Structure 1
Amino acid sequence: MRTPRMHNERSLTLAWLLLLGLTLVGAVLGNAGSPGLWVTVTVAAMMAFKGRVVIDHFLELGGAHPSIRRLVRFYAVALPVMLILTDLFGPQIAWLTTL
């Protein structure tokens, strides 16, 4: 019979192993992959997924106010989107942000 604590520890361990595996895949991709949009999109997707795993399993936002939970989840999606936009429009963004 499983206790809630045992299930929680197993869930955290599996989440940690998943994050570790994705980090290793990202390292191999960064080392072996050639630069391009597909690499950026892949890294951004892994970034968003890893952010969601961390938010759901380690930040314990399940009991937080819904607006706080939505804001943090939005942040985990906004950063990968900004990464893709920077890859697509880097020179234009640099021009817009110079003094």
Structure 2
Amino acid sequence: MSKRFGQLEWFLFTLIAITLFNTFLGEKFDSTVLVSVLIALTVTYKGFVVIDHFMELKEGHNKLRFLMKLYFLIFPSLIIVSAFY
């Protein structure tokens, strides 16, 4: 039996790598604003990947997909805004 990585495995590996990178950023950098912005942007990307590839909403109902993506745009944006105050 062949043990090859498929597309989903690569997406999962990428999500794990981004999570580890975010952990590294949080532990090593003192700039709260920069770290908050970078983490919020990666959360948005990770949310889009999960929506499209793991929840399979790419082929799903467009309104549901729109609402889910809107969630991952609004809340990280609020994190970015709050980082500056």
Common fold: TM-score over 0.5? yes
Specify the TM-score bucket, using the shorter chain as the normaliser: 0.7 to 0.9
Number of residue pairs the alignment of both structures matches: 81
The answer to whether residue 36 in structure 2 is matched with residue 40 in structure 1 is: yes
For 2:58 and 2:52, the matched residues in 1 are separated by: 7
Consecutive unaligned residues of structure 1, counting only runs of 5 or more, are 1-8, 90-99
CA drift of 1:86 comes to 1.5
Instruction: Using structure 1 for the length normalisation, give the TM-score.
Output: 0.75
% identical equivalent positions: 31
CA contact (8 A) 2:48 2:72 kept: yes
CA drift of 1:36 comes to 2.7
Task: Point out the more displaced range, 10-19 or 54-63.
Answer: 54-63
The answer to whether residue 74 in structure 2 is matched with residue 74 in structure 1 is: no
Instruction: Using structure 2 for the length normalisation, give the TM-score.
Output: 0.87
CA drift of 1:66 comes to 0.9
1:17 is aligned, of 2, 8, 13, to 13
Q: Which structure features the higher share of helix residues?
A: 1
CA drift of 1:63 comes to 2.2
Relative contact order, higher structure (CA 8 A, sep 6+): 2
Q: Which entry has the higher C-alpha Rg, 1 or 2?
A: 1
Secondary structure class of the residue paired with 1:61:
coil
For 1:62 and 1:54, the matched residues in 2 are separated by: 10
Consecutive unaligned residues of structure 2, counting only runs of 5 or more, are none
